[in-house]
Each structure stands twice: as structure tokens, then as C-alpha cells.
Amino acid sequence: MNSSVSSSHNSVLINLKIKFSKLLQQPTFLIGSVLVIILSYLVIAPIVSIFSNSVSLTMMDAMLSGGKDGEFTYKYVDRVFASSISEKIFWVPLKNSLTVSFFATLIALTLGLILASLVTSTNIFGRKYLGFLLIIPYMLPSQAMATAWLTMFKNRKISGPQGMLESFGITPPDWLAYGPLPISICMALSYFPFAFLLFSSALSKIDIQLEEVASTLGAKTKVIWSKIILPLLIPTTMSVLLLTVARTLGTFATPYILGTPAKYTLLSTSLYSSVRSNDSGVVAVIAIVLSLIGVMLLLVDIWVVRKWQRFVTVGGKGVKRQPSKLGILRTPTTLFAWVIFLIAALGPFIVLALSTLMREPGNFAFSNFGLAYWTGVNVPGMDQPGIFTSPEVITALKNSFLIAGSASVICGFLGLLIGYAVVRLPGTLISGFLRQISFLPYLMPGLAFAAAYLSLFAVSRGPIPALYGSISLLILVMVVTYLPYASRSGISAMMQVGPEPEEAGMVLGAGFWRRITSILAPLQKSALIIAIILPFITGMKELSLVVMLVTPGTELLTTQSIRFLDFGYTQLANATILIIGVVVMISVLILNRLTKTNLASGLGG
């Protein structure tokens, strides 16, 4: 009896000893555990705080109504769902959001599918260039499209310089200038490249032999498309559909710019109004609703993917599909594709650029052109310095680079680390937990996440000092928000490498750090570059996440452009957006040059 106790005690010790020596050989477990702790804090704490905020009395309300700060209350839930104003702040915006999402997604999906088919599988003119050019709208910040629209179509309903059409003597009606129609169109034009990318990659993955078999059996091109290719695209279509809906629901800039003048409120702008009026309890409730919609969409997506899994075909021999001849349709389809490019990518650029070059909108006289908005010391009629002489813009530019830059670097490394831990600890709790938790921020709308961070890190907590008003807060929140992209690419990169290269080093006597530095890191170089540049691009364009966290001195280019817009300095806002667009496009070119990767792989999230 006694001996069995002591031997079992002994075996526990021995077990521990083995575990420990394994840990020394392969400290993945250690890395995983540290990551679990860090991520729990950075991801779960804000989510918990959002939930608790939704049912506890805010400090502001406690001060005003004399309750106790943090006291349990249904006040906000009630206010959002069943009070006299819930229709205005929730139900109508919900309906509007769903309407706009529906139409935007429909247009984006159709455009994406048609353009992807044309570019991957037909001989339209310039298909080589279109593949890249049609992604450009995705690189522009979402307010670019909206402000370009406004610059073009605005009427006297709101103030500021004249719209371009207006200056030609045409007054666009309100329904064309503001509200659901322009919001849907602008969102669709901003998000169709996403559909385009996914469809293109799906089309190029379909085994060409499947089509060849059909044509040997006598099927014509038209039949092949309707009976074979399109059905095979159903899973992709579902994914595009759900993810685009999710994106449009979370978009803030477009409805803010185009919806506000018509009082057309979406959930995202309603959330922002609540933020602006310090109604943080309501913010929490709406944020939860938005997140729940996100979760629901994701679950449906997972279900769809699983259901259609049997459709997934193993890639063929990588033979490129022979572009089919369009014949008489070649010219019109080419025209169509290029017109879309013109409207969605080149159009905004031209409109924005023109507006910053013309003193008076719509006056094409040579003398009316000038660089006042860019280089002027004092822009006429604005009492403001031009972009290049404006200290605000220069600070914002610096901040954008600093914040998006450091966030993306941290994010990239963190993503690879997570990938490493997840892939090397298969089947463990840690692996599953890390995989799930690093994906969670994906479900939270940026505004909601920012709200959570604001309330969580405004005061010092544990080892983390009060971060309010600091650049670190912005970096932190960006890192966490972009983590899903980074960790996903990290995981897939690690999956591709497999354990052998590392094991080969192990056998030859390389210790853990040596394996990481001289084998794994160089192998993952291009994955790392992607994992850094993609968040950088997103960070440069980011608005909804940071719009409530910026403080004087920490403004970013995107928030600065909104500030300009608030003051009616449309041209300065446009110029700022142009700067963002240019920076992002240069980054994309660098990415292409460095890694020779298609954006499709990274943006497909």
C-alpha cells in the first residue's frame, strides 16, 4: 500500500521531469502559454468590459442621476430596444443597415463575379492590367469613394463649396446626393474588389480538366459555365456574400459622409452618435448587437463551407484556362470592365485630385487651377494652411506611419508566433484556444472594439498604465484588431512549412533559438512581409477603429480628413485622402515587388 503510494508519487515526479526536459527542447508550450495569457487580456477583457458596460451604470450617468458608478441596470438595454427613442437609435438604423448591406452586397457580388470571369477566362482587352487595376478601389480608404461622390453630387442641402455638377448648373436631387442610394453604390464600389479577388482565385483553382471533360462530352462554353463552373463557385459566392455583408455593416465613413446630411442613420453611425454624446451604455448595447450579427454571419459561413466541402476539388495540374474568345462581345465587355475601373478607382482619384487643384469648383479656366490647397500658406477663404504647410497634416502623417507601422510590425511577428504555437501544439487546448481567440476581434466592429478599449485602458490596470491619449493605445488596439489576419496568415504559413526543416536542424544539434533564427525566420520571410504590409495598409486606411481614440496630437491622416470634412474644408479632406491612397498604393507595390505574391492570398479574409 505504502509503496504504491510512494511509487505513484515518484512517477509523478518522473513525469514532470520528462515534461520539463521536453519543454527545454521544444519551448512551444511555453510560448503558447505566454500568448494565451497576453491575448486573454487584450482580447477577452475588452469583450467582457463591453458586456459589463451594457448593464452597468456609466460614470457619466451616475454623476448626473446620482446612482452608483457601475451599478447594475437594464437602463441601456431598455433604451436601445424598448424606449421612446429606440426606434430612432436602433430599429430604423438596423433596417437601414440591412437595406444598404443587401444592395451593396448584391452589386459588389455581381460586379465581382462578372469581372472575375471576364478577366480570368476571356480575351477582353487589357486583362493583364485589369487584374491589378480592379483591386485599386480596395486600397483606397472607404471615405475616398464617399467624399468623391459628395464632391461630385452634393447640392445646397449642406454647406461648403459647390458640388461639381452643381457648378455646371445641374442640381442633383437629394436622393442622388445623399442617403441609401449613394451609400449602397459607394460601398459596393469599395468592396467589389474583394469579391473580384475571391472569385478570381476560385476560378483559377477549378481544375481545368473538369471543363475539358465536359467539352469532350460535347458541352459548349455556355453550358460549361452554367453547368460546371458556376455551380462550383457556389461556396465562394456564399463566403463573399456573408463577408461582404459583415464588412458593409461595420463601415463607418461612407454612411457618416453620405448619410448624415439626409439623416439616414445606419447602426455604425448611430453607434458613433452615441459615442459622441457620451452615451456609453447605449454604445455597449449596440456594439454587442453588431458583434452578434457578425458572429451569426460567421457561423452561417462556417456552416456553408462545411456543407459545400464536398465540392472542393483538389487542384489540377495548374494548367491555365485558355481564355475563351468573346467574338462580337469583346468590345462591349472590355468597355464594361474599364468603365468600372474608371468609376471605382480612377474616378475618385480624378475627382479628389481635381477638387484640390481648382480654386472654384467647376470652373475649368486655366487660371482657376493652382496648388493653393497643397502648398498655400493661407488658403483663400479657409483661414487654413495648405496640406504641405499644415502642421496638423504633418503630425497626422507622422502618426499614421508611426502607429500603422509599429502596429503592423508587432502584428506580423505576433501572428507568426501564434501560427507557430498553433501548428506545433496540434490537438492541445492551447492550440485551439489561440486559434479561436486570435480570431475573435474579427467579429467585433471596429467602433465597438475601440469603445471597449477606451473604457478599459483609460485608467491604469495592473501592469498597464493609463493609456488614454497615448499613441500606445492606438497601436495596441490596431494590433489586436488586425490579429485575425496576421494569425491566420501565420498559421497557414507555418502549416506549409511543416516540422521537418526544424527537425532536421534539431538532429544536427541546433537549439531552439538557433532553429528559430536561422531556419524558421528566413523560411517565413515572405509570410512575415505579407503579415506586416497587409495590416500596414489596413492601418493607414483605418478610420472607424481610431476615430474615437484619437486625441489632439495623436490624429491620424484618416481622422484628420474627417476633421477637415467636419469643418467643411472639403478640398483639404480630399487632399489628405489622396495622400493615404498614394501611401497605400506604394506599399502594395512594394509588397508585390518583395514577395511576388498576389494580394488575393492576403486580402481574402
Partner 1 sequence: MNKIRIKTISLFTSFFFGMALLLQPVASYAMTLDELIAAAQKEGEVNTYWHSSRMGKKVAKAFEEKYGIKVNATKMKDSEMTERIVREVSSGNVIVDLVGYDDGPFLDTVLTPKGMVENYVPPYLANDIPKDSQKPLIYLWQPFVIGYNSETYGDSCPIKSLWQLTEKDWSGRFHMWDPRIASSMLQMFSAMEDRSDELAASYKKHYGKDLKVSEANAGLEFVKRLAANNPVLYNEDYEIAVAVGTKGQSQAPIGIYSLGRHRENAKKNLALALCDVDPFKGLNQPTYMQIVKGAPHPNAARLLAYYVLTQEGANPWVGVVGAYSSNSSLGSSPDNPYPTAEAWKGTLLVSNNTNVANRRADLMDFWIKHSK
Partner 2 sequence: MSEIKLKSIVKNFGGNSIAVDNLSEIFPDGEFVCLLGPSGCGKTTTLRMIAGLETPDSGEISYGEKIFFSSKNGEFIKTENRNLGLMFQSYALWPHMTVFKNIVFGLEMQKKSLDEKEKRYLELEKLFHLENFRDRYPSELSGGQQQRVALARMLAMKPNLLLLDEPLSNLDSNLRLEMRSELKRLHQSLGCTIIFVTHDQMEAMTLATSIAVMNKGKIEQIAKPMEIYNNPKSLFVAKFVGSPQMNIINSDKDENLALCLSKKLNIEKNKVKNFGARPESIKMVQQNNGDINAKIETIQPTGADWIVGLNVSGKSIFVISSEQPIGKENDTIGIDFKVEGCHSFDSNDLRIVKS
Q: Which does 335 bind (CB under 5 to 8 A by kind): partner 2, partner 1, none?
A: none
Q: Which does 158 bind (CB under 5 to 8 A by kind): partner 2, partner 1, none?
A: partner 1
Q: Which of 123, 204, 278, 363 binds partner 1 (CB under 8 A)?
A: 278
**Contact code string over 47-76 relative to partner 1, x by CB under 8 A:** ------------xx--xxx-----------
Q: Which of 99, 260, 472, 526 binds partner 1 (CB under 8 A)?
A: 260
| CB-side neighbour CA atoms (13 Å) of 551 | 10
Q: Is 379 helix (H, G, I), strand (E, B) or coil?
A: strand
Stretch that binds partner 2, among 220-228, 300-308, 493-501, 561-569 (CB under 8 A): 493-501
Structure-block grid coordinates of residue 128: 493583364
CB distance 105 to 183 below 8 Å: no
Residue 169 binds partner 1, judged by CB under 8 A: no
Q: Which of 182, 376, 505, 581 binds partner 2 (CB under 8 A)?
A: 505
Structure-block grid coordinates of residue 307: 456543407
**Contact code string over 506-545 relative to partner 2, x by CB under 8 A:** xxxxxx--x----x--xx-x--------------------
Q: Is 386 helix (H, G, I), strand (E, B) or coil?
A: coil
- Cα 274 to Cα 88, 202, 250, 265, 279: the distances in Å are 12, 41, 15, 12, 5
- In the bound complex, what is the minimum distance in angstroms from residue 263's beta carbon to partner 1? 7
Q: Is 125 helix (H, G, I), strand (E, B) or coil?
A: coil
- In the bound complex, what is the minimum distance in angstroms from residue 84's beta carbon to partner 2? 58
Opening angle at CA 542, ends 547 and 465, nearest 5: 60
Stretch that binds partner 1, among 297-305, 409-417, 462-470, 504-512 (CB under 8 A): 462-470
Residue 25 binds partner 2, judged by CB under 8 A: yes
CB distance 112 to 193 below 8 Å: yes
**Contact code string over 388-427 relative to partner 2, x by CB under 8 A:** ---------------------------------------x
CB burial string 267-290: b at 16+ within 10 A, e below:
bbbbbbbbbeeebbbbbbbbbbbb
Alpha helices (H) along 308-445? 330-341, 347-357, 372-375, 391-424, 429-437
3-state secondary structure 14-81: HHHHHHHHHHHHCCHHHHHHHHHHHHHHHHHHHHHHHHHHHCECCHHHHHHHCCCCCCECCHHHHHHH
Q: Which of 276, 307, 325, 514 binds partner 1 (CB under 8 A)?
A: 276
Cβ atoms within 10 Å of 219's Cβ, excluding its own: 16
Q: Which does 316 bind (CB under 5 to 8 A by kind): partner 2, partner 1, none?
A: none
- In the bound complex, what is the minimum distance in angstroms from residue 434's beta carbon to partner 2? 20
Residue 17 binds partner 2, judged by CB under 8 A: yes
Q: Which of 6, 8, 9, 14 binds partner 2 (CB under 8 A)?
A: 14
Q: What does the binding site for partner 2 look like in residue numbers (CB under 8 A)?
A: 13-18, 21-22, 24-25, 427, 498-501, 503-511, 514, 519, 522-523, 525
